[in-house]
Amino acid sequence: MPDFAPDTILFDGVCNLCNGFVQFIIRHDPAGRFRFAALQSDAGRALLLAHGLAPAAIAAEPESVLLLSGGRLYSHSAAVLRIAEGLGGVWRVATLGRVLPTAWRDAIYRFVARHRYRWFGRQASCMLPNPALKARFL
C-alpha cells in the first residue's frame, strides 16, 4: 500500500457508468492513490454519516461520485476534477474545466447523473472487487 493516506471515492455501486469510472481510475492509478466505497455499502454509509450526510437521502437520489480527500467531502464536478488531478499525467488536462463557472459544471454533471441509468444501465447489486483489488475497497 502507498505511504500516504489514500483519498476515498464514494460511488453509486449499481450504476454502470459509475462502475466504469471506478475501473478507469483503477487502470490509471497504479500507485493506489484512491480507494473506493459504494454509497450503498456499510462503509459508504458510515463515511456519509461521519461527514454529516444522511445515507437515506443519498440512497434516494445517489450522487454518482463523491470524493473524501484531506478530511473534506467533494461532490459534483469538484469531485471529478479533483480525481482527474489526482490521476496526474494527461488526465490533469481535465482540470481546465475549472475555467467554467461551478454552476455550469455542476449543471452538466447533474444532467448526466440524472440520465445515467437510462443511458448506461444499472446492475441489480454492487460490483465485487477481485482479490487483487479487494484492499482498495472499503
- Contact between 97 and 81 under an 8 Å Cβ cutoff? The reply is yes
The pLDDT score that the predictor gives to residue 1 is 42
What is the rounded CA–CA span in Å between residue 135 and residue 74? 23
The model's pLDDT over 10-56, given as tens digits with 9 standing for 90+, comes to 998 888 898 889 999 999 998 889 999 988 888 888 888 888 877 66
Question: Taking 70 as the threshold, does the pLDDT of residue 122 lie above it?
Answer: yes
In this structure, is residue 74 part of a structural domain?
yes
Give how many domains the chain has, as a whole number.
1
In this structure, is residue 92 part of a structural domain?
yes
What is the rounded CA–CA span in Å between residue 19 and residue 120? 10
In this structure, is residue 2 part of a structural domain?
no
In this structure, is residue 1 part of a structural domain?
no
> In which domain, by residue range, is 107 found?
7-136
pTM (predicted TM-score): 0.83
The model's pLDDT over 92-102, given as tens digits with 9 standing for 90+, comes to 888 888 889 99
Q: Where are the beta strands (DSSP E) in the chain?
A: 7-11, 34-38, 65-69, 72-75
Least confident residue range of 2-6, 29-33, 128-132: 2-6
